[in-house]
Amino acid sequence: MDAIQVRIPSHIQKQLLSEAGYRCSNPTCKALTTQDASQFDYVFQAGVAHIENLLALCGDCHQQYHGRRIPQAALQAWKILQIALAGNIEERSMDLRIAAIHNHQSIAPFFPDEHLPFPFTGGIIYLNIKESHMMLARALGIYEPDKTRTIHTLLKPGMTFIDIGSNKGDFSLLAAKIVGDTGAVLAFEPEPDNCCWIRRSMNLNSYKNVALYDIALGDINEPTRLYLGEKSGWHSLMPSNTSSSQGAIDIQMRTLDAVLGDIGRTHVDMIKIDVEGAELRVLDGARITLSNNEEIVLLIDIHPHLGIDLDEVCNFLRGHGFSIRDMKPPHHKLGCVGADYKEIFAKRL
């Protein structure tokens, strides 16, 4: 973007500098700066002096930008990063957040390649938003909105929530905040690095009501292999279903029924399942749990593009008395589930 004299009110300058921690917004620079020493540049649209369209830079980075040594996409990435880290993400422009997701490929090279603590509706969560648009969506508060809304609506203090395939733990953290000290969250995530970051996020929030299990859930109680995907959410028990396979590791598999039997827990209110193609195996290992909890609610990600037989999953659920519904509230009943569905809501009639 060509050099344009940016004139903005003093109070907006102060807000921008506060958002940047009185440092240059370039995360590889972070030079200390002041209101008098800072330069303010347009990020997305020239001439629009709105706080979501402005960025504070030190004099040197400002000169590099206008000398075209720093590309426009870098400013956009740094602005999105600041917005996500600042908190109160729900107050930010939805159009801006959605556009950032769509443009992830072009702005991702300018994000730091590290896990950072992002405020979100479940507290604070460590995410590496460079990894994928899905991680950025989590940081911007627009990841799986129907599922998030369902959990907010139906989960109550004192309830028990089970998160099968926790990935970075966003739904476990959200549930922990909702159910409180009188409730319980059981999180299952077999990939070691994901487990590490879930645990760090749990500690950061001081949540004591989450039990994290570094195992896979399925239909057997014995060691198995986890096939690693290119992204942290693509790991799978199904070798043919792993996108851009990165090898495999040995892990322990157990059934949900066995785990709950070991700890003496029978009552469960809600289960979220996102296991990259192993949905039916998880359900098969939870028959006793499903039978013991008449009012249990299931939130299931389905992956027809991975070769999953949707009819088998739906027939299993219907055979156990569940109706298949749309994840989007008010959860209309579905006669059939097409290949375009990515998630379903299941409860008994």
Shared domain check, 210 and 115: no
In a domain, 241, yes or no: yes
CB atoms within 10 A of CB 311: 10
Q: Is the per-residue pLDDT at 1 higher than 50? A: no
Identify whether 135 is part of a domain. no
Q: What average pLDDT score do residues 14-43 get? A: 93
* Structure token pair of residue 289: 């749990």
Are both 153 and 110 inside the same structural domain? no
Label residue 212 exposed, middle or buried (CB < 10 Å: 0-12, 13-18, 19+): middle
Reported as type and span, the H/E element at residue 172 is helix 170-179
Among 173-177, 267-271, 278-282, which stretch is predicted with the lowest mean pLDDT?
Answer: 278-282
Alpha-carbon distance of 233 to 329, in angstroms, equals: 25
For residue range 81-136, list pLDDT tens digits in order: 999 999 989 999 999 999 999 999 999 999 999 999 999 999 999 999 999 999 99
Q: How many domains does the chain have?
A: 2
- Within-domain flag for 19: yes
Burial letters 65-97, b for 16+ CB under 10 A, else e: bbeeebebebbbbbbbbbbbbbeebeebeeebb
- Whether 60 and 162 map to the same domain: the answer is no
Domain end call among 66, 86, 120? 120
- Predicted confidence at residue 2, as pLDDT, reads 47
Based on the domain organization, do 107 and 158 belong to the same domain? no
* Residue after which a domain boundary falls, among 104, 120, 136: 120
Q: Which domain holds residue 249?
A: 144-348
* 221-245: pLDDT as tens digits: 999 999 998 888 888 888 765 555 6
- Angle (CA) 65-70-73 rounded to 5° is 110
Distances (CA, A) of 3 to 16, 44, 57: 19, 14, 14
336 domain-assigned: yes
Instruction: Among 120, 154, 189, identify where a domain stops.
Output: 120
Residue 136 CA to residue 310 CA, distance in Å, equals 29
Q: In this structure, is residue 35 part of a structural domain?
A: yes
Residue 249 lies inside a defined structural domain of this protein: yes
Exposure letters 13-46 (e unless 16+ CB within 10 A, then b): beebbebbeebbbbbebeeebeeeebbbbbbbee
Tokens of 326: 């749309």
What is the C-alpha to C-alpha distance for residues 233 and 277, in angstroms, rounded to an integer? 12
> How far is 326 from 8, CA to CA, in rounded Å?
47
Segment 157-170 shows an average pLDDT of 98
Given a contact cutoff of 8 angstroms between Cβ atoms, the answer to whether 271 and 237 are in contact is no
Q: Is residue 125 part of a domain?
A: no
Same domain, 155 and 50: no
Question: Do 266 and 199 belong together in one domain?
Answer: yes
Q: Which CATH number do you get for residue 316?
A: 3.40.50.150
